[in-house]
Chain A
Amino acid sequence: MSAARQVDVAIIGAGPAGLAAGAAARNEGAERVVVFERDWEPGGILQQCIHPGFGLHTFGEELTGPEYAHRYLTRVREAGVEFSLNTMVFQMDKPVLKDGRKTVTFWTMQPERGIEQIEAKSLVLAMGCRERPAGALGVAGSRPSGVYTAGTAQRFVNMEGFMPGTKVVIMGTGDIGLIMARRMLLEGAEVVGVFEIMPWVSGLRRNIAQCLDDFGIPYYLNHSVCELRGRGRLEGVGVVEVGPDRQPIPGSDKFVTCDTLLLAVGLIPENELSRMAGIAIEPITGGPIVNEWMQTSEDCVFAAGNVVVVYDLVDFVSREGERAGKYAARYAMGRLENAKREFKIVPENNVRVVSPQTLTGEDDVTVYLRVGSPVESKCRLYAEPGLFSQRLRYARPGEMNEIKLSASQLKSLASDVTRITVGLEVL
């Protein structure tokens, strides 16, 4: 095989995380920063999210996905980031020591250049996430056409010019499903209803208000789709009410006629490559374990965006992408020293998801977290020992909460402190 192409900072994925990482890596001083993207254009999932709701924090106004991508790309091009488009990264090795420093090697496939080997001084994983598919749900019945994940339907309707169907049922209350309910309706389809197995909505409440309530689309909590019926094409779904134990209530089942079922039942970080490289994955988030530099268990590999934890706002993704790019650049330039301390963040009391999971204590950090079940009354979010306390009016699984900690706070912790507990206490 021919000699590997050398880059300083390689980034896999040109979604908002990868774009932010690229710009930050250049601005930090890295020379050759290349973003590898399998699609024909940068932007990632933003290009198909044509609804408004992006960039309130980053740009101070509400933009659509493509508008956010456009603005961000202008910044990225000015920074001198290189792109390798139509390029699929399909294989990655465990980083190895070479001339006294870690390097990471991976393989790409590109129509004109064929298969190539790339060697990078540091790497940012920014592959985003994928949707939980129909097969993962194990719904009974036949396997007709007409069953799509909501994001696939979104790409069809918003970019490719196809309508998935005319009479639609949506399973799950993820944001993409709610947004697609409105979108299908405006494109002339009938939207029968949205069925959610949990007793609460998993997406943002604003999407219930502006996508369902505005248009009189009904939604049913504690309900699940339990059967697919139809030969060739979907003819309807069986729907059942579930009890507090998530088990079907006998006799509650009914048949709903439809030709299309959209699944909005969750997103999973896309980490096949990370696993190939031997990166430690956290079972709850499904993403790599990272510290506040967004550094993974392999110190030359960083990660950002939905590959780490599924964020609900693109602004957070851009912010964390910048972090990953900055520290990846420092690593590539030999300017990132090993951390002197490590704090482990331990969730308790209804906090389920935390990211990052460890801290070096050398930088200010925002810790993102999600609760496991909703709290609809006054509560207190805290980080112990004595680092953070904030009263909240509610906390819901669909919305991330933030805990901001400063380096000076962390540095002043006694030298035997190695754990920081974060939790939510109902007042």
Chain B
Amino acid sequence: MSCVKKFLCVSCPVGCSLSVTVEGAEVLSVEGNTCPLGEKYARSEVANPVRTFTSTVRVNGGLLPLCPTRSKTPLPLSKVFDVAREVAQLTVDAPIEIGATLIKNVCGTGSDIVASRSLPRKHRDSRELENSA
């Protein structure tokens, strides 16, 4: 018995409505996508939905008390709360370079948590960056 599942493609801001005909775990057809990414998205949504995870970590001695982070690659949606808890435990020391790996293979998902900005050390007690003017 095949059935039709409805998804909204989140691969780009267009947000196409997808109708996916599945039989068991097998995708028979995808309709409604404007581009090939939509079909790829639908297949992954049926097999194992994944999302890019973003959050912040606490920072010691940084210009800001937090540094934004992201998962380097999308990770399983079902693991998002586990990952959120693990990331919330972490505190790192400034300075931080954008792209630096902060947690390897987070919660066994195969994805790393990396810094998504650079954060210099706090100097004096003002928030000042080099002013090139």
Binding site for B on A (CB under 8 A): 34, 40-41, 47, 50-53, 56, 62, 64, 66-67, 69-70, 77, 82-86, 157-161, 186-188, 204-206, 208-210, 213-214, 312-313, 399
**Nearest CB on A from B21, distance (A):** 20
- Name A188's closest neighbour in chain B (CB-CB): B88
A-facing residues in B77-120 (Cβ within 8 Å)? 77, 80-81, 84, 88, 98, 116-118
- Name A42's closest neighbour in chain B (CB-CB): B129
Q: Are B70 and A161 in contact (CB under 8 A)?
A: no
Q: Are B116 and A67 in contact (CB under 8 A)?
A: yes
Q: Are B116 and A161 in contact (CB under 8 A)?
A: no
Q: Which of A70, A83, A186, A213 has the most CB of B within 10 A?
A: A186
Q: Are B52 and A62 in contact (CB under 8 A)?
A: yes
Query: Is B54 interfacial (CB 8 A cutoff)?
Result: yes
Q: Which of B13, B65, B118, B127 contacts A53 (CB 8 A)?
A: B13
Binding site for A on B (CB under 8 A): 7-10, 12-15, 51-52, 54-56, 58, 64-66, 68-70, 77, 80-81, 84, 88, 98, 116-118, 127-129, 131-133
Residues of B within 8 A of A70 (CB): 98, 117-118
Q: Are A50 and B58 in contact (CB under 8 A)?
A: no
Q: Which of A53, A206, A312, A399 contacts B8 (CB 8 A)?
A: A206
Residues of A within 8 A of B14 (CB): 399
Q: Are B116 and A56 in contact (CB under 8 A)?
A: no
Residues of B within 8 A of A208 (CB): 8
Q: Are A51 and B133 in contact (CB under 8 A)?
A: no
Assuming the contacts A186-B84, A206-B10, asked whether A159 and B70 have C-beta atoms less than 8 A apart, the reply is no
Q: Which of B8, B66, B77 contacts A160 (CB 8 A)?
A: B66
- Name A50's closest neighbour in chain B (CB-CB): B68
Assuming the contacts A82-B133, A86-B128, asked whether A50 and B13 have C-beta atoms less than 8 A apart, the reply is no
Bound-complex Cα distance A246 to B48 (A)? 41
Residues of A within 8 A of B58 (CB): 161
- Name A398's closest neighbour in chain B (CB-CB): B15
Interface of B is mostly: loop
Q: Are B132 and A82 in contact (CB under 8 A)?
A: yes
Q: Are B117 and A161 in contact (CB under 8 A)?
A: no
Bound-complex Cα distance A206 to B13 (A)? 7
Bound-complex Cα distance A204 to B51 (A)? 17
Q: Are B13 and A313 in contact (CB under 8 A)?
A: yes
Can you give 21 A-B contacts (C-beta < 8 A)? A40-B129, A41-B129, A50-B69, A51-B54, A53-B13, A66-B68, A66-B116, A66-B117, A70-B98, A82-B133, A83-B133, A85-B129, A85-B133, A86-B131, A159-B66, A206-B12, A206-B13, A209-B7, A209-B10, A214-B77, A399-B14
- Name B80's closest neighbour in chain A (CB-CB): A186
Q: Are B117 and A67 in contact (CB under 8 A)?
A: yes
**Nearest CB on A from B54, distance (A):** 5
Inter-chain pairs besides A83-B133, A158-B56, 16 sampled, C-beta below 8 Å: A50-B68, A50-B70, A52-B54, A66-B116, A67-B116, A82-B132, A86-B128, A159-B66, A186-B55, A205-B8, A206-B13, A206-B15, A213-B8, A214-B51, A214-B77, A399-B15
Assuming the contacts A161-B65, A206-B8, A206-B10, asked whether A47 and B15 have C-beta atoms less than 8 A apart, the reply is no
Q: Are A52 and B132 in contact (CB under 8 A)?
A: no
Q: Are A159 and B64 in contact (CB under 8 A)?
A: yes
**Nearest CB on A from B98, distance (A):** 5
Bound-complex Cα distance A52 to B69 (A)? 10
Q: Which of A64, A160, A399 contacts B68 (CB 8 A)?
A: A64
- Name A70's closest neighbour in chain B (CB-CB): B98
Bound-complex Cα distance A206 to B37 (A)? 14
Bound-complex Cα distance A206 to B14 (A)? 8
Assuming the contacts A51-B54, A62-B52, A66-B68, asked whether A84 and B8 have C-beta atoms less than 8 A apart, the reply is no
Residues of B within 8 A of A205 (CB): 8, 15
Q: Which of A47, A53, A209, A214 contacts B117 (CB 8 A)?
A: A47
- Name B52's closest neighbour in chain A (CB-CB): A52
Residues of B within 8 A of A77 (CB): 132
- Name A41's closest neighbour in chain B (CB-CB): B129
Bound-complex Cα distance A206 to B7 (A)? 10
**Nearest CB on B from A60, distance (A):** 11
**Nearest CB on B from A128, distance (A):** 19
Residues of A within 8 A of B52 (CB): 52, 62
Bound-complex Cα distance A70 to B12 (A)? 21
Q: Are A85 and B51 in contact (CB under 8 A)?
A: no
Assuming the contacts A83-B132, A313-B13, asked whether A210 and B51 have C-beta atoms less than 8 A apart, the reply is yes
Residues of B within 8 A of A34 (CB): 133
